[in-house]
Structure 1
Amino acid sequence: MKYTKEQRLDIGRRIYDGEIDCYQAAEEYSINHYTARDYMRLYRDTYQLPKRSAATHTCKSVSTPLAANSQASLQEYQEMTKEELIQALIQARITEARLKKGYEVKGDGSIIQYSNKNTK
């Protein structure tokens, strides 16, 4: 859908002022979120306004439950001792190497094969 310059400036103003973010604007106006971001930049440049700082930037990624989970994981890591952190790091590196080779070992010892390619 094509919007006039005034409509684009209005969408940009709403994003710049923080009424909506780029993703909400994209959904509401049936446009791509990059287009919504460009409308905000058009508004900012037209009225020679300062750039928004990263803390108040309204086009950042959508918050997911995974982000909340990573905060809980971070809290767990902060409570670990040095030895426990070293063990967690070793386990993470082992898991990463196994995934690169195409398999995963579950807690009960069962192996899940992701790839049948020969690694040689």
Structure 2
Amino acid sequence: MASKWPARIAGGAAGLANGLFGGGGGMVFLPILSRWGNLKSRQLYATCVAVIFPVCAVSAAMYLWRGGMNWASALPYLAGGLLGGWLGGKLYGRVSAKILKWIFAAFLFYAGVRYLL
């Protein structure tokens, strides 16, 4: 049986990124799962979402507990995010994996540029 320590260390790094930056753990998980997960592209994205969901829940609970969350500001984004998540799930099998990779790369590039400016 292969050691589970690399996966645990990667999970810790993703959780740390998510906790420090309020998100981004999925950006850590995706390349790690693509390298070590032996998953097809579609399984890769779905598994990443399944893994990051509890990590985000823990980060959100910590922010809430420490008084760092503003529900009034978060609710409009939550409503749109839920709708977008539902729509993305419906489109999941209809978009080619190659296009998904390009969209994800474009999003990362845009986010990185916006963050630096």
Q: Which has the larger radius of gyration?
A: 1
TM-score by structure 1 length?
0.29
TM-score by structure 2 length?
0.30
